[in-house]
Amino acid sequence: MTKHALVLILLSAVSLFAACTGGEDNLREGSSDSDSDSDSDSDSDADTDSDTDTDSDSDSDSDTDSDTDSDTDSDSDTDSDSDTDSDTDTDTDSDSDSDSDTDTDTDSDGDTNCPGTCVGQGECRNMNGTYLPDYTCPSETPICCEPGATDSDTDTDTDTDTDTDTDTDTDTDTDTDTDTDTDTDTDTDADPPACTEGDMQACASAQSGKHCGLTYEIWTDSGSACMTNTAVGFVADWTEAQGNYLARKGVRPGSAEPVVTYSANYQPNGNSYLAIYGWTQNPLVEYYIVDSWGSWRPPGTSPLGTIQVDGGTYEVYKSDRINQPSIEGTATFPQFWSVRTDKRTSGTITVAPHFQAWGQYGLQMGSFYEVSLVVEGYHSSGHAEVTVRFD
């Protein structure tokens, strides 16, 4: 073994010994000194953030445009004014005064004889030392006194003053004004179309025809005569030479229902009628509803009764014609009359009430042949311009 190797072996042995010795000291110290420090820090932070954002946008646009135009022309004006004034005034005054005065005066005057002095146990002795048994010795004073008369004055004064004023004033003013103005204008009358036919003159002893939707007829019993048809009616001119003259215009066969509106510039000279005129058949009847006349009021017989219609009074008559001209030739037939008591030359004639009244008086009519407005002259003269409408 070399010298160098030996040195290395020795150094290794020394180092190992030193290590074992130091480790033993350390174990020993661990067994004699034991410090146990236990620090336990537990921090638990739990932060939970939950943010939930839910955005739900629902936009629903529905546009429906419905335009309905309905135009109805009706004129109705309604004005309603309602004013209500109600005034209520209530004044209540309540005054309550209560005065209560109570005065109590008590005077107690004891006029007493005090001759002694209190000694011992409340004994009263006079100046000579004599015991005074009838005298009292009050505790609040050393002097004893004979009880004297007591003057006690008690004055009690109670004044009570109660004043209650109640003033109630109630004013109620109710003013209700209601003004209702309803104007309804409904036009249901359809005017007949205007006639476009020109004037037409008819001259004959007997002639009938159509003009502007109505039936006209000219008739005389002596020679020829004329009438002129116009768009609104007719014109009649007659003379005495024509004997019995009739110019008329109306509806055929007619009915019991017409309402006749007319106006006339009626200028007769002598015997003449302005009337509703016509015939019925089965039975054969000639009838008149007379509104005006000339020099003579027909028919010259006694009335059967009266009828109130169209703002006037009509007298009802019956007369007879023996072997006279008719729509059926020469015949015998009755005439029925309603004659107004006062003349007029314009207005409305409602025919139905006349026919009904005649039936009540036993005047029986047949089937209608015509309902016309007539201007009749009998051995007279005259002129008439007539406007007429049948509804």
Of these residues, 286, 315, 370, 385, which one is catalytic? 286
Is 286 a known active-site residue? yes
Q: How far is CA 130 from the centre of its chain?
A: 116
* Closest to 367 (Cα-Cα) out of 280, 276, 258: 280
d(CA 165, CA 97): 9
d(CA 204, CA 207): 6
Residues 6+ apart with CB under 8 A from 220: 205, 206, 242, 243, 244, 245, 246
Burial label for 239, CB within 10 Å (0-12, 13-18, 19+), is middle
What token pair was written down for 78? Answer: 């309604």
| Cα–Cα distance list, 171 to 95, 168, 348 (Å) | 22, 10, 59
Is 376 a known active-site residue? yes
Of these residues, 217, 315, 376, 385, which one is catalytic? 376
d(CA 367, CA 285): 9
- The CA-CA-CA angle for residues 237, 242, 243, to 5°, reads 120
* Closest to 260 (Cα-Cα) out of 368, 373, 386: 373
Catalytic residues: 286, 376
